[in-house]
Amino acid sequence: MPTVQEILAGPIDRHTNANIATLLADLQGNILKGHGRDHTVHLFLNLRLDTLPAAKKWIKDFADRHVTSAQKQFAEMDDFRKFRIIGGLFANFFLTAKGYEKLGLPAPQDPKFVAGMKASGAILADPAPGDWEEGYRREIHASLLLAHDDESELNREARRILQEVRRFADVVAGERGKAMRNKNCETVEHFGYVDGRSQPLFLKEDIDKEHEKEPGTVLYDPSAPVELVLVPDPNGDGNLSFGSYFVFRKLEQDVLGFKKAEEQLADELGLKGPDEELAGAMAVGRFEDGTPVVLQKTDGVADPVPNNFNYKVDPGGLRCPFHAHIRKVNPRGGTGVPEEQERKHRIARRGITYGERCKEPKDDPAMEDLPSKDVGLLFMCFQSNIENQFEFIQKQWANEEDFPSPGTGIDPVIGQRHNPMDQRWPVVWGRNVKRSFSFHGFVTLKGGEYFFAPSISALKKI
The three-point CA angle 47-51-57 to 5° equals: 90
Contact track, ligand HEM, 144-183, x by CB under 6 A:
----------------------------------------
Is 221 catalytic? The answer is no
**445 touches ligand HEM (CB under 6 A):** no
**Shortest distance in whole angstroms from residue 150 CB to ligand HEM:** 26
**Shortest distance in whole angstroms from residue 235 CB to ligand HEM:** 28
Residues numbered 410 to 429 that lie near ligand HEM (CB under 6 A) are: 413-414
**189 touches ligand HEM (CB under 6 A):** yes
Nearer to ligand HEM, 191 or 439 (CB): 191
Considering only residues 44, 379, 429, 439, which one is a binding residue for ligand HEM as defined by CB under 6 A? Answer: 379
Residues numbered 10 to 29 that lie near ligand HEM (CB under 6 A) are: none
**310 touches ligand HEM (CB under 6 A):** no
Nearer to ligand HEM, 63 or 347 (CB): 347
Residue 247: which residues within 8 A CB-CB, separation 6 or more? 117, 347, 379, 380, 381, 383, 386, 390, 448, 450, 451
Considering only residues 100, 191, 246, 248, which one is a binding residue for ligand HEM as defined by CB under 6 A? Answer: 191
**69 touches ligand HEM (CB under 6 A):** no
**How far from chain centre, in Å, is Cα 218?**
24
Type of residue numbered 357: R
Residues binding ligand HEM: number (CB under 6 A): 28
**97 touches ligand HEM (CB under 6 A):** no
**269 touches ligand HEM (CB under 6 A):** no
**113 touches ligand HEM (CB under 6 A):** no
**112 touches ligand HEM (CB under 6 A):** no
**196 touches ligand HEM (CB under 6 A):** yes
Nearer to ligand HEM, 37 or 349 (CB): 349
Span of 59-67, 132-140, 391-399, 453-461 interacting with ligand HEM by CB under 6 A: 391-399
**Shortest distance in whole angstroms from residue 415 CB to ligand HEM:** 10
Residues numbered 347 to 376 that lie near ligand HEM (CB under 6 A) are: 347, 349, 376
- Identified catalytic residue from 13, 61, 64, 208: 208
Span of 28-36, 89-97, 188-196, 232-240 interacting with ligand HEM by CB under 6 A: 188-196
As a three-state string, the secondary structure of the chain is CCCHHHHHCCCECCCCCHHHHHHHHHCECCCCCCCCCCEEEEEEEEECHHHHHHHHHHHHHHHHHCCCEHHHHHHHHHHHHHHCCCCCCEEEEEECHHHHHHHCCCCCCCHHHHHCHHHHHHHHCCCCHHHCCHHHHCCCCEEEEEEECCHHHHHHHHHHHHHHHCCCEEEEEEEEEECEECCCCCEECCCCCECCCCCCECEHHHHHHHHHHCCCCCCCCCECCHHHCCEECCCCCCCCCEEEEEEEEEEEECHHHHHHHHHHHHHHHCCCHHHHHHHHHHHHCECCCCCECCCCCCCCCCCCCCCCCCCCCCCCCCCCCCCCHHHHHCCCCCCCCCHHHHHCCCCEECCEEECCCCCCHHHCCCHHHCCCCCCEEEEEEEECCCCCCHHHHHHHHHCCCCCCCCCCCCCCCCCCCCCCCCEEEECCCCCCCEEEECCCCCEEEEEEEEEEECCHHHHHHC
Considering only residues 377, 410, 458, 462, which one is a binding residue for ligand HEM as defined by CB under 6 A? Answer: 377
Rounded to 10 degrees, the C-alpha dihedral 56/62/64/65 comes to 150
**259 touches ligand HEM (CB under 6 A):** no
**Rounded distance between C-alpha atoms, residue 358 and residue 188, angstroms:** 16
**Shortest distance in whole angstroms from residue 292 CB to ligand HEM:** 8
**389 touches ligand HEM (CB under 6 A):** no
**Shortest distance in whole angstroms from residue 346 CB to ligand HEM:** 7
Considering only residues 33, 37, 39, 286, which one is a binding residue for ligand HEM as defined by CB under 6 A? Answer: 286
**How far from chain centre, in Å, is Cα 343?**
16
Residues numbered 228 to 257 that lie near ligand HEM (CB under 6 A) are: 251, 253
Residue nearest to ligand HEM (CB): 198
**CB neighbour burial string for 172-188, b if at least 16 within 10 angstroms, e if fewer:** bbebbbebbebeeebbb
Span of 9-17, 125-133, 187-195, 271-279 interacting with ligand HEM by CB under 6 A: 187-195
Considering only residues 265, 278, 443, 459, which one is a binding residue for ligand HEM as defined by CB under 6 A? Answer: 443
Considering only residues 230, 269, 284, 293, which one is a binding residue for ligand HEM as defined by CB under 6 A? Answer: 284
Positions that interact with ligand HEM (CB under 6 A): 189, 191, 193-198, 251, 253, 284, 286, 325-326, 329-330, 347, 349, 376-377, 379, 390, 393-394, 398, 413-414, 443
